[in-house]
Amino acid sequence: MSDPHAALAPWPARFNLCEYFLDHNLATRASKVALKVGAQSRTYAQVSERAKRVAAALRRAGVRAEDRVLIVLPDGFEFAEAWFGALRAGGVFAMVNPLLKRDEYEYYLAYSKCRAVITHSDVLPELADAARSARQRPPVFVVGPDAGGFIAYEQALAAEDPNSALAELEPTGPDDLAGWLFTSGSTGKPKACVHVHGDFAWNTELYGLGVAGYRESDVCLSVPKLFFGYATGTNLMFPFRAGATSVLFAGRATADELYDQIAAHRPTLLTSVPTMINNMLNSPRAASADLTSLRVCLSAGEALPPALYRAWKARTGVEILDGIGSAEMFHIYISNRLDDVKEGSLGKIVPGYEACIVDDEMRAVPTGEPGRLRVRGGSTAICYWADRKKSRETFQGDWCTSADLFRVDANGYYFYEGRADDLLKVSGIFCSPLEIENALLAHPAIAEVCVVGRDDKDGLTKPCAFVVLKSGHASADGFSGSDKLAAELKLWVKDRMAPHKYPRWFEWRASLPKNDRGKVARKELREEAVVLSTRGELQK
């Protein structure tokens, strides 16, 4: 096999991501707007000056090279300057959702053994006691009006000189530790994928600039928040490397919020997820909203149903580049291209990466057959922090063996088949919930659906569908369907695939639960199906 590392020239011996993403803009773009938040903006020079103050404040608080800095912030100017400041000081960023609960923050504080925390006053009701009781008692910098007895962020920055020795760029190298990216925790507690400086630059060059095609003229907007590596890449790293402008907003991403942001800032590049694409299309504003500023929409995080892709293209004319990435590889390594989109697929391998489909014995499977995806490239994580067993199962040199199932066709297009533990064995035959979901999503009544396995009275597994109906198709309560509709949906699926795959039960919902990355919480629905069945509440 060819060496994917040959795709790029070696990084220089002294290499720091703060310089690679931010400081390189200062020679020619110092006065250009780098970030927009509402009516306010910051230039590249302003972001750089603030990042220097953050670096100095962190060092004064005791942070040294390769110490973890836990960032627990909503999207805004402070997130960006904290992220760059931690790197400038030689620290290792670890980003956490600012909407978690105390016990979750207790876990992240203990697991990361962070040397400092940067957070917001809005987070303190859940974070403060956890930080005070943490074994390492890290200094906590608090953005916002009330520091709660911790260090006031703005005061700390105001006290620092951006030209001092404390603010200097740490002379890291490409193989020095740079950041932790957390897994979604779908099979347990989130694990940290440990990455070095060169990892993030590798994917930026090959996917961000090479495939997604970020430009200096782009204005970028994201549905996922910056703590999620997908968005850290598409709405901070990639735009800053290209010298573009990023739009940030702190609130929850809703269809209305997205339409408002698009109207106000006229972005050219939208980072989204299938759930939000669906929500935007189902919004009353969909017919009248002006989306002509968009040149491309990126999608990842969960499978993009073909029916949803077609509906978006028909309404907007904007191309969607669906792709697959992971915390283990930092970002997207298989993607569609602007000039090469195959509906229903995740596209082809990003140049500079290499992939193969294998069975449980790590043997390559024939073309067209499903198996586990193995991928390698210059952004493969070193390990899962503090989990040698799982690290050895997943990482073999620069190869990463995924738990996801894929198939690849003769033309090199990859198709996602779901996770191995999501597959259902119905009537002795394995089938993918995604296949059933895509069939149901083609029905005009269905807005969202998640299919999970459920044992019937004989202990045999059958598909169970959790369904969100479109407006006008629900009963008086606004979300329930009828027995007649359930029967119609069963026939709909039977007419489009093998008859054993049709859902035996339909559970109507006003919405489906999501995790903090915007994905449907499939594990939660599996557990709910068991509980409902035990109570005899599932509709047959």
Q: Which domain holds residue 499?
A: 423-534
Q: Are residues 334 and 190 in the same domain?
A: yes
Same domain membership, residue 399 and residue 440: no
Helices (H) and strands (E) in the chain, counts: 17, 26
Distances (CA, A) of 310 to 370, 414, 446: 25, 19, 15
* pLDDT at position 457: 74
Whether the CB-CB separation of 332 and 325 falls below 8 Å is answered with: yes
Query: What is d(CA 227, CA 361) in angstroms, rounded to the nearest whole number?
Result: 35
Q: What φ, ψ does residue 372 adopt, rounded to 5°?
A: -80, 145
| Of residues 441, 461, 443, the one with CA closest to residue 452 | 461
Buried b (16+ CB within 10 A) or exposed e, 174-211: bebbbbbbbbbebeeebbbbbbbbbbbbbbbbbbbebb
Q: What is the CA radius of gyration of the chain?
A: 24
Q: Tell whether 398 and 503 lie within a shared domain.
A: no
Spatial contact of 485 and 426, defined as CB atoms under 8 Å apart? no
DSSP 363: P
Q: What is the pTM of this model?
A: 0.85
Cα–Cα dist 207/218, whole Å: 16
First to last CA, the chain: 52
Which of the listed residues 408, 441, 471 is the one where a domain comes to its end?
Answer: 408
Tell me the three state secondary structure of residue 355. strand
DSSP annotation of 170: P
- In CATH, what number is assigned to the domain containing residue 49? 3.40.50.12780
Q: Helix, strand or coil for residue 131?
A: helix
87 and 204 fall within a common domain: yes
- What does DSSP say about strands 116-120 and 414-419: parallel, antiparallel, or unpaired? unpaired
Neighbours of 355 (CB within 10 A): 23
- Residue 203: inside a domain: yes
Which two tokens mark 416? 């996602």
Two tokens, residue 101 = 């609960």
DSSP 362: S
Strand boundaries in 253-349, DSSP class E: 269-272, 296-299, 320-325, 332-335, 348-349
Per the domain annotation, does 303 fall within a domain? yes
Is 226 part of a structural domain of the chain? yes
Query: Is 418 a domain residue?
Result: no
Structure tokens that stand for 494 in this block: 């039977």
Same domain, 369 and 495: no
Q: Is 3 part of any domain?
A: no
Residue showing tokens 């060496």: 3
Burial code (b: 16+ CB inside 10 Å, e: under 16) for 16-35 equals bbbbbbbbebbeebeeeebb
Q: Is residue 414 part of a domain?
A: no
Query: Are 383 and 479 in the same domain?
Result: no
Claim to verify: residue 488 and residue 379 sit in the same structural domain: no
Question: Could you tell me the CA-to-CA distances from 295 to 36, 211, 320 in Å, in that order?
Answer: 19, 14, 9
Q: Are 213 and 335 in contact (CB under 8 A)?
A: no
**Are 432 and 328 within one domain?**
no
CA 410/CA 101 separation, integer angstroms: 47
Token pair for 516: 């903090």
**8 Å CB contact between 95 and 37:** no
What was the pLDDT predicted at 155?
98
Q: What is the pLDDT of residue 188?
A: 67
- Written as six digits, the tokens of 407 are 């198939």
The count of structural domains within the chain is: 2
Residue 245: inside a domain: yes
CB-based contacts of 467, cutoff 8 Å, min separation 6: 440, 446, 448, 449, 481, 489, 506, 507, 508, 509
For residue 97, CA distances in Å to 174, 275, 357, 431, 525 come to 27, 19, 33, 34, 22
Amino acid letter, residue 336: N
For residues 436 and 346, state if they share a domain: no
Final residue in a domain of this structure, among 355, 375, 408: 408
Backbone angles phi, psi at 412, to 5 degrees: 85, 15
Q: Is residue 540 part of a domain?
A: no
How confident is the prediction along the chain (540 residues), in pLDDT tens digits per residue?
A: 556 566 787 899 999 999 999 999 999 999 999 999 999 999 999 999 999 999 999 999 999 999 999 999 999 999 999 999 999 999 999 999 999 999 999 999 999 999 999 999 999 999 999 999 999 999 999 999 999 999 999 999 999 999 999 999 999 999 999 999 998 765 568 899 999 999 999 999 999 999 999 999 999 999 999 999 999 999 999 999 999 999 999 999 999 999 999 999 999 999 999 889 988 999 999 999 999 999 999 999 877 889 899 999 999 999 999 999 999 999 999 999 999 999 999 999 999 999 999 998 899 999 999 899 999 999 999 999 999 999 999 999 889 999 888 999 999 999 988 777 777 777 666 677 888 998 899 999 999 999 998 877 766 778 999 999 998 888 878 788 899 999 999 999 988 887 778 999 999 999 999 877 777 888 889 888 887 666 655 444
Q: Are residues 385 and 292 in the same domain?
A: yes
Last residue of a domain, one of 346, 376, 408: 408
Contact yes or no for 465/433 (Cβ under 8 A): no
Among 412, 247, 286, smallest CA distance to 342 is for 412
Residues 139 and 111 grouped into a single domain: yes
Same-domain status, 402 and 458: no
Q: Supply the CATH number for residue 498's domain.
A: 3.30.300.30
Adjacent-strand bridge partners of 426: 429
Q: Which residues contact 411 (CB under 8 A, 6 or more apart)?
A: none
